Amino acid sequence: MHTNPKPTDIILHNQSRTLEVVFDTGERFNLPWEYLRVFSPSKEVRGRFGKDRILVLDKRDVVLQEIKPIGNYSLKLYFDDGHNSGLYDWRFLYELGVNQAQYWQEHLQRVAALKSDPD
């Protein structure tokens, strides 16, 4: 994995509900808004001290309303459910892109396990 990837282009696609991030590595990732919201780097989602990620549910229809650059190292994303904490730095966005299939599958498995557990 590239150690210090930097975006060369960031495009918000309203119709497909994705954030496209193109990196200087030549890689391009289309990150769905729901995915970005579920994997927010905020303390609220990451859990205490970055452990035990909180399972975020029912964000299929979340809207990414605004993107603000923070310096030249990250983005702050504003979602219509009021969530706007946590900074998506370049390394984290790259990690989300590279691991998107795996992370999303793990999320879906956690959701399925929760729904099949009667307690």
Q: Give a yes or no: residue 92 inside a domain.
A: yes
At 33 the pLDDT is 97
Contact present, 45 and 52 (Cβ < 8 Å):
no
2 domain residue, yes or no: no
Residue 75 maps to a domain: yes
CATH number, domain of 64, equals 3.30.2020.30
**For residue 14, is pLDDT > 60?**
yes
Please state the pTM of the whole predicted model.
0.90
Residue 99 belongs to domain spanning: 7-116
| Residue 78 forms part of a structural domain | yes
Q: Residue 51's pLDDT is what?
A: 56
Render pLDDT for 42-94 as a digit per residue (tens, 0 to 9).
Answer: 877 776 555 577 888 999 999 999 999 999 999 999 999 999 988 999 999 99
Q: How many domains does the chain have?
A: 1
* 60 found inside a domain: yes
Q: Is residue 30 part of a domain?
A: yes
| Lowest mean pLDDT across 3-7, 73-77, 101-105 | 3-7
Within a domain: 20: yes
3-state helix, strand, coil in the chain (%, to 5): 35, 30, 40
Q: For residue 45, what pLDDT is reported?
A: 76
pLDDT at 71: 92
Predicted local distance difference test score (pLDDT) of residue 47: 62
Which of 39, 59, 58, 34 shows the shortest CA–CA distance to 50? Answer: 39
Residue range 20-41, pLDDT digits in tens: 999 999 999 999 999 999 999 9
Q: Residue 33 falls within a domain, yes or no?
A: yes
Q: For residues 48 and 106, which has the higher predicted lDDT (pLDDT)?
A: 106
